[in-house]
Amino acid sequence: MLSRVADTIYWLNRYIERADNVARFVDVNLNLMLDLTQVTGQQWEPLILTTGDLQLFSQRYGEASSDNVIQFLTFDSNYPNSIVSCVQRARENARSIREIISSEMWEEVNAFYRMVTEASNDHPQGTLPHFFTQVKRSSHRFAGVMDATMTHNEGWHFGQMGRLQERADKTARILDVKYFYLLPSLEWVGTPLDQIQWIALLKSASAYEMYRKCQRRITPSNVAEFLVFNREFPRSIHFCLLQLQRSLHEITGTPLGTWHNKPERALGSLCAQLGYTTIEDVIKIGLHEFLDQIQIRVNEVGEKIGETFFT
C-alpha cells in the first residue's frame, strides 16, 4: 500500500474520532451545568485543557465561558481541532482516496459533513444537545459502515490504528483533567459535587453504564482503574492500545510478543507496562504523573508509526 494512502486512511479515522470526542466533552459539560449552580465559571476551561490548546484559546477569546468555549471547540473553522474542522478534513481525506474506500463510507462522511456545515451556519443554544448527539451517531455510523463494507486489509488496519490511538489519547486526557484540574478544592472531595463530576467523566467516555455493571460505588480509584486498565471496555486506554497493537502486527506480519521496528517496540513496551501495573502502583506514583507519561508515550507511538509507514 502507498504510504500516502495509509496516511490518509489513518488520519481520516483520527479526525472522525476526534470530532466524536469533542462532542462528548461539550455535551456532558452542558448537562453538568444543569446540576451545578455554584462553580459554573470554571467548568469550561478544563475542556480547553483536554485539547492542549489553552494558550491559543486565551489569545483569541480571553476568559473561558460557555459561549466562547462551545464556539471554539465546535464551530470555529480556524481552529484545526474543532468539530467543523475535523469533519471537513476527514471529508477531504476521504475524497482523495475514494477509489480505496467503499462508496458507503464516502456517502457517510459526506452526509456527516453536510450535517455539521448546516449546523455551523445556524446553531441556537437549544439545538446543541441534538447536534452533539448527531455528531456521535455519525461517528458510530462511519465506524460501523467501514467495518461492514471495507475489506479488512492493510487499509482497514491503518484506519483502526488511527481511531484507537486517538481514543486512547483522549481517554487519558479527560481523566487527567478531571483528577488534576476540575475539582474546586480538596474540601469538595467525596461530596455530591464530586460524585456528579465523576459521573460526568464516565458519561463523557460512554462508560457510566458499563462501569455500574461491575462497580457499585463511584470512587476515584475505581473509575481510574476502569478507564485505564479494563481489557474489555472499548474506550479504556489498555483496550485501545491492545487493539492498536494487533492491527500494527497484522500490517507488519510480526508475531505478537516480538518486534522488528520502532513502533512495535514502543507499543509493546507500553502494553506490557499497563499489563503489569495495578491501580495501587498508579496511586503511589500519582495519577496525574502516570497519565502524563501515558500521553507522552502514546504520542511517541504515533510519531514512530508516522516515521515508519508514512514518510
Least reliable range by pLDDT among 51-65, 169-183, 276-290: 169-183
In the predicted model, is pLDDT for residue 252 greater than 60?
A: yes
Dihedral (CA of 57, 61, 62, 64) sign = negative
* Residues 230 and 248 occupy one common structural domain: yes
Alpha helix locations (H) across 36-124? 45-51, 54-61, 66-70, 83-96, 103-121
For the entire predicted model, the pTM comes to 0.91
Q: Could you tell me if 104 and 146 are in contact, meaning their C-beta atoms sit under 8 angstroms apart?
A: no
In the predicted model, is pLDDT for residue 306 greater than 60?
A: yes
**Cα gap 52→118, rounded to integer Å:** 28
* Residues 179 and 284 occupy one common structural domain: yes
**SS3 for 113?**
helix
pLDDT of residue 135: 96
Mean pLDDT of the 234-257 span: 96
* Residues 4 and 144 occupy one common structural domain: yes
What count of other Cβ atoms lies within 10 Å of the Cβ of residue 186? 7
**Cα gap 299→309, rounded to integer Å:** 15
- Structural domain ending residue among the three candidates 128, 150, 172: 150
Task: Report how far Cα 191 is from the mean position of its chain's Cα atoms.
Answer: 28
* Residues 103 and 168 occupy one common structural domain: no
Of the candidates 66, 40, 292, 43, the residue with the CA atom closest to the CA atom of residue 175: 292
> Which amino acid, one-letter code, is at 205?
A
37 pLDDT band, cuts 50/70/90, is low
* Residues 23 and 146 occupy one common structural domain: yes
Count: domains in the chain: 2
Q: Which residues lie closer than 8 Å to 151 by C-beta, 6 or more apart? A: none
- The residue that leads in pLDDT, 292 or 45, is 292
* Residues 132 and 200 occupy one common structural domain: no
Q: Could you tell me if 288 and 180 are in contact, meaning their C-beta atoms sit under 8 angstroms apart?
A: yes
- Structural domain ending residue among the three candidates 150, 171, 193: 150
Q: Could you tell me if 305 and 3 are in contact, meaning their C-beta atoms sit under 8 angstroms apart?
A: no
- Structural domain ending residue among the three candidates 150, 177, 206: 150
**Cα gap 31→201, rounded to integer Å:** 12
In the predicted model, is pLDDT for residue 277 greater than 70?
A: yes
Q: Which residues lie closer than 8 Å to 227 by C-beta, 6 or more apart? A: 171, 175, 202, 205, 207, 233, 235, 236, 237
Cell 496516511 belongs to residue = 7
* Residues 18 and 124 occupy one common structural domain: yes
Transcribe 8-19 into DSSP letters: HHHHHHHHHHHH
> Which amino acid, one-letter code, is at 44?
W
DSSP code of residue 94? H
* Residues 251 and 171 occupy one common structural domain: yes
* Residues 56 and 163 occupy one common structural domain: no
* Residues 49 and 67 occupy one common structural domain: yes
* Residues 103 and 46 occupy one common structural domain: yes
127 pLDDT band, cuts 50/70/90, is confident
- Structural domain boundaries, residue 240: 151-310
pLDDT of residue 22: 92
* Residues 159 and 184 occupy one common structural domain: yes
